Amino acid sequence: MNNYLTIIKKYLEGELSDSEKEKLRQWILKNPENEMLFKKEIKNWHLETEELQADSEKAYKSFLNTIDRNEPKVISLKPLLKLISYAAVLAGVLFGVYYYTKPDISVIRTSPNIVEIDTAPEDKIKISQEDGTITYIDFDDKKDVVDASGIIIGKKSQDQLIIKGLDKTKTEFLEISIPKGKIFQLSLSDGTKVWLNAASTLRFPQHFGSSESNRIVYLEGEAFFDVTTNKKQPFIVKTGDVDVQVLGTQFNVSSYAEDAAVKTTLVEGLVAVNNSNDPTDMLKLSPTYQAVYTKDQNRLNKKKVNTTFYTSWMYRKMMIQNESFAEVLKRLERAYDVEIISSNKKLNKTRFTGEFDIENVRQILNVFSETIDFTYEMNQNRILIHSND
């Protein structure tokens, strides 16, 4: 009995493996008493006040339907705010998690033409070279990227770009920008692999010269790094607020301008995270730890995390961990280039943990509205969520 109570708890926390889900399903269907216990545990988990009733029957049916459809994940979506609790176990469909940043309003220069930002393609990869050459590449293209002299500097193959390092006396930087709604893989000249999230920009040397003491790159947005080991040349990611220094490791950095914090999450190896504004503020991370730089406090803090929550975007999933509904809406705005206005103050403060595989923003909002009663209207890219107070 205690074993299955543990499994149910893991299921409600969203940490159950596929094999354990099947084991739980078989146990539930074995007899009516097990079914009743499962429903009771759902209520015990979610019902923290008497204000609202937890829909354990709906959660139970959703669990069985999800397993029967053999979907890869069960979504356990639960508000964590003490004032409100709902039971919800919701299944989803595949989606890509996207992010949005403010567009560059400057003039983009190409050689030999000048291209205004209004005419620049918004759905292509943008590669900028130091001489002003701008190249736009479709994600499905298989082509070479050349400099102004016609020399190949990178090869595009399917969903990744491999940089061809040319050892020059002068370090020349390249800059690659990924549009919203896309994820892209980059292989730097030293073999380091970089996965760039949507609306992200990475500036890096075309070639890491042997005379340089460090391998330095500059990130705006979010990226996952798998760094090639070179003890003589530490790898440093600069975000403006923090510097992340490594020798060889796997880690994720999220540094969107509009976010209140910069988060560095270590999956493997060892990194040192430095506050760019305070040389005395430095943290060393071991795997499964995260350094959080809060912009308003100008301080670094460390905590232990489930790294899957911070790398799931690479697999086109959205995982939510104790986030307020208002924070989730910000992510949706980035994802689908929409404006969301919510006047539902109680809803905005409710916190959630869960996982989504959803196709579009309307489906995501429908999932939430089935869990928490609210209404919304959508007019092109503007969404208004109404208050039910």
Q: Is there a domain that residue 84 lies in?
A: no
Per-residue pLDDT, 102:
31
What residue type is 214 in one-letter code? N
Given a contact cutoff of 8 angstroms between Cβ atoms, the answer to whether 225 and 209 are in contact is no
- Residues 154 and 256 occupy one common structural domain: yes
Q: Is there a domain that residue 207 lies in?
A: yes
Q: Is there a domain that residue 91 lies in?
A: no
Per-residue pLDDT, 380:
86
- Domain end residue (candidates: 309, 340, 357): 309
- Residues 63 and 117 occupy one common structural domain: no
Q: Residue 177 maps to which CATH number?
A: 2.60.120.1440
- Residues 56 and 180 occupy one common structural domain: no
- Residues 147 and 31 occupy one common structural domain: no
Give the whole-angstrom CA distance, residue 336 versus residue 182.
Answer: 11
Q: Is there a domain that residue 97 lies in?
A: no
The number of domains in the chain is 3
- Residues 154 and 285 occupy one common structural domain: yes
Q: What is the pLDDT of residues 91-142, one digit of tens each?
A: 222 222 222 233 332 332 333 333 333 446 777 899 999 888 898 988 887 8
- Domain end residue (candidates: 284, 309, 334): 309
- Residues 140 and 267 occupy one common structural domain: yes
Q: Residue 330 maps to which CATH number?
A: 3.55.50.30
- Residues 250 and 288 occupy one common structural domain: yes
Per-residue pLDDT, 19:
72
Give the whole-angstrom CA distance, residue 181 versus residue 224.
Answer: 17
The residues near 215 (Cβ < 8 Å, ≥ 6 apart) are 190, 192, 205, 208, 230, 233, 234, 235, 236
Q: Is there a domain that residue 102 lies in?
A: no
Per-residue pLDDT, 116:
39
Q: What is the pLDDT of residues 137-174, one digit of tens each?
A: 888 878 788 887 788 888 887 678 999 877 666 778 99
- Residues 192 and 295 occupy one common structural domain: yes
Name the token pair of 377. 């209207």
Given a contact cutoff of 8 angstroms between Cβ atoms, the answer to whether 331 and 97 are in contact is yes
Q: What angle do CA 318, 322, 328 make, to 5 degrees?
A: 50
Q: Is there a domain that residue 99 lies in?
A: no
Give the whole-angstrom CA distance, residue 367 versus residue 358.
Answer: 9
- Residues 200 and 148 occupy one common structural domain: yes
Q: Is there a domain that residue 140 lies in?
A: yes
What residue type is 7 in one-letter code? I
- Residues 341 and 240 occupy one common structural domain: no
Give the range of the structural domain holding residue 200, as residue numbers without chain letter: 108-309
Positions in the chain short of pLDDT 70: 1-2, 13-16, 18, 45-120, 158, 167-169, 358-359, 388-389
CA 173 to chain centre: 26
- Residues 116 and 8 occupy one common structural domain: no
Instruction: Please classify residue 342 by burial: count the beta carbons closer than 10 Å to its beta carbon, then call 0-12 exposed, 13-18 middle and 19+ buried.
Output: middle
- Domain end residue (candidates: 261, 281, 309): 309
- Other Cβ atoms less than 10 A from the Cβ of 101: the count is 17
Q: Is there a domain that residue 360 lies in?
A: yes
- Residues 329 and 274 occupy one common structural domain: no
Look at the chain and count its residues: 389
Give the whole-angstrom CA distance, residue 329 versus residue 268.
Answer: 31
